[in-house]
Amino acid sequence: MKKIKELWAEFKKFISRGNVVDMAVGVIIASAFTAIVTAVTAGILMPLVNWAVTSATGGQGLEGLRTILGTPVYIIDDMGTQAVDWSSTLYIDWGGLIRAVIDFLLIAAILFAILKIFVSIQKMANDVNGAEAKKKRKLIRQYMKQGMSLTAATEKVEKEIADEKKAEEEKKAAEAAAAAAKPTTEELLIQIRDLLAAQNAENKDK
């Protein structure tokens, strides 16, 4: 029973690791991208390639781009026509190679785009976190030179940084509220008109 509990604890620790979750998400996303790439290849690119190859070869698409090695094996189809039995004939499938190359290029292009976006986002996050960590270390050293302990200096710096962030957020909120409350050009013109009308009325009364 104790052994089972230990195994269960190890299993829970294993499945709760971040790497396992990341790997699972990666596998799911990869499957989804595979379906997308297959749909794009089969539904859009391959018909265009087949059309181009058919036009260039005078009627043969990718399926016809085969080089027979040795003696072909023939069969009689349902229409009574003699045809090559490709399952029993040794040949080089150039069409299949072209299709595989297109699939590879598509997958490589999609992965390249995803990695570029991910690296850019990660670089931005690292730049922000690096600057904040550098500032925090500098302030901690300053407070420690003043005689504070490492724990006290760290707590003080974290509180100051938190207060700065809060003040910045409040400032942005105040600026947004001020911008929202700022009268529009039409409202200003209406106010000016009302003031001029009031002054004209006062002049007439005099």
pLDDT digits (tens, 9 = 90+) for 84-143: 776 777 778 887 888 788 778 877 787 788 778 877 887 776 666 666 777 777 777 888
- CA 111 to CA 113: how far, in whole Å? 5
Q: Give the pLDDT band of residue 166 (cuts 50, 70, 90).
A: confident
Which residues, in sequence order, are CB contacts of 49 under 8 Å at separation 6+? Answer: 62, 98, 102
153 CB-contact burial (10 Å; exposed 0-12 / middle 13-18 / buried 19+): buried
* Residue 120 CA: distances (Å) to CA of 29, 42, 55: 20, 32, 43
Domain 2-147: give its CATH code: 1.10.1200.120
pLDDT of residue 206: 59
* Residue 8 CA: distances (Å) to CA of 1, 16, 20, 24, 25: 11, 12, 16, 20, 23
Domain edges within the chain: 2-147
Q: Has residue 182 got a pLDDT over 60? A: yes
The token pair that represents 103 in the structure block: 């699939």
Structural contact between residues 103 and 130, judged by C-beta atoms closer than 8 angstroms: no
User: 176 - beta bridge partners?
Assistant: none
- CA 152 to CA 140: how far, in whole Å? 9
Q: Has residue 10 got a pLDDT over 70? A: yes
